[in-house]
């Protein structure tokens, strides 16, 4: 079974530029998550989708970050304009359904973003 796919793996941009990340979850997984992992810290949830609806975006900086999950499968996360502090690894994860008690989240390899 294929895992969570993310692209690109690495991205270097200058501040004030825009960037987009793509995620393809495990087939059949209804729930998709985007996390931001700053160097030396644990991942922090940015946004969570259940199918194509947003269920939690409380920690998403909405003035510059946006995300969508059209048709309830693939998702894109966009930053516009980027700031230096956005340098981080952006991890996508998916799980079968949020209602399950165990609800294991499976992660992709992440996109490492450097903002110069």
Partner 1 sequence: AQKITQTQPGMFVQEKEAVTLDCTYDTSDQSYGLFWYKQPSSGEMIFLIYQGSYDEQNATEGRYSLNFQKARKSANLVISASQLGDSAMYFCAMREFENSWGKLQFGAGTQVVVTP
- By the rule CB under 8 A, 8 interacts with partner 1: no
Interface residue with partner 1 among 20, 76, 112, 114 (CB under 8 A) is 112
Least Å distance, CB 55 to partner 1, is: 5
Least Å distance, CB 54 to partner 1, is: 10
Closer to partner 1 by Cβ: residue 57 or 74 = 57
Contact map string, positions 42 to 71, toward partner 1, x by CB under 8 A = xxxx--x-x----xx---------------
Write the DSSP assignment of the chain as a string of letters: ----EEE-SEEEE-TT--EEEEEE--TT--EEEEEEE-TTS--EEEEEEETTEEEE-TTS-TTTEEEE-GGGS-EEEEESS--GGG-EEEEEEEES-TTSSS---EE---EEEEE-
Q: Which class for 81: exposed (0-12), middle (13-18), buried (19 or more C-beta within 10 A)?
A: middle
| Positions in 68-87 near partner 1 (CB under 8 A) | none
Interface residue list for partner 1 (CB under 8 A): 31, 33, 40-45, 48, 50, 55-56, 89, 91, 93, 95, 98, 101-110, 112
């Amino acid at each position: 079974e294929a895992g969570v796919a993310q692209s690109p793996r690495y991205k270097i941009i200058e501040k004030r530029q825009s960037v987009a990340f793509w995620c393809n979850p495990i087939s059949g997984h209804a729930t998709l998550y985007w996390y931001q992992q700053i160097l030396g810290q644990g991942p922090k949830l940015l946004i969570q989708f259940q199918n194509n609806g947003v269920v939690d975006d409380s920690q998403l900086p909405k003035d510059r970050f946006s995300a969508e999950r059209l048709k309830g499968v693939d998702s894109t996360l966009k930053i516009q304009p980027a700031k230096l502090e956005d340098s981080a690894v952006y991890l996508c994860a998916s799980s079968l359904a949020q209602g399950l008690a165990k609800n294991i989240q499976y992660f992709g390899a992440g996109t490492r973003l450097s903002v110069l």
